[in-house]
Amino acid sequence: MIVALVVACEVAFWVLLAAGLALRYLLRMPRLGLALLLCEPLLEAALFAVTAVDLRNGAEPDWRHGLAAVYIGFTVGLGRSTVRWADARFAHRFAGGPPPVRPPRYGRARAVHEWKVAGRWTLAALTAAALLEAAVRYVGADGDTGSLRDWQLRMVWVVGVNLVIALSYTLFPKAEPAGAAEREPAKMR
């Protein structure tokens, strides 16, 4: 049941996002579209509540409960940037908005961009790890919490990989090719 709810939350996230953006830009109802977009966190709250009730009712904690915590954590860390990404593309495609700004490709600007990305992934992983720790404590010493601890270890790996990527762009920045500035059109910000 938990896995089906995670899948349902993911599908509902994209449906709410598409509907909110359609209301906002196609039907010219920005307030109603915003209200729909603000309903996104209710999905995670429902998933959190169902997972907590499942554990309280004596379910043995397993990878499904860990998946729910990780999904919620990733939505917290990456949800806002995903909505902003989709909003920029939808506004450009359907409402005559400016083209989406591409991430920088070279030098210090790229390193700063990668650190921001690593920060979002780190927030996601730390939120998931905190929810997993809360589940471990909620279950107590009587339950088998090994699968939840395994998910926590995976979150450490997520943080580590993202920090290594950001650090690599800082220590070994990609140099802009000669003459590239003249070939690229001016970026709009």
Number of helical H runs and strand E runs in the chain: 7, 0
Are 151 and 105 in contact, with CB atoms under 8 Å apart?
Answer: no
Q: Determine the 3-state secondary structure of 100 from DSSP.
A: coil
pTM: 0.86
- Convert the pLDDT of each residue in 133-164 to its tens digit: 999 998 887 778 889 999 999 999 999 999 99
Contacts of 170 (CB under 8 A, 6+ apart): 111, 114, 115
Relative orientation angle of helices 40-56 and 63-95, to the nearest 10 degrees: 170
CB-based burial of residue 58 (10 Å sphere; 0-12 exposed, 13-18 middle, 19+ buried)?
Answer: exposed
Q: Please, what is the average pLDDT of the chain? A: 90
Average pLDDT of span 99-119: 95
- Convert the pLDDT of each residue in 130-139 to its tens digit: 999 999 998 8
Rounded CA-CA distance 152/3 in Å is: 18
**Whether the predicted pLDDT of 189 surpasses 70:** no
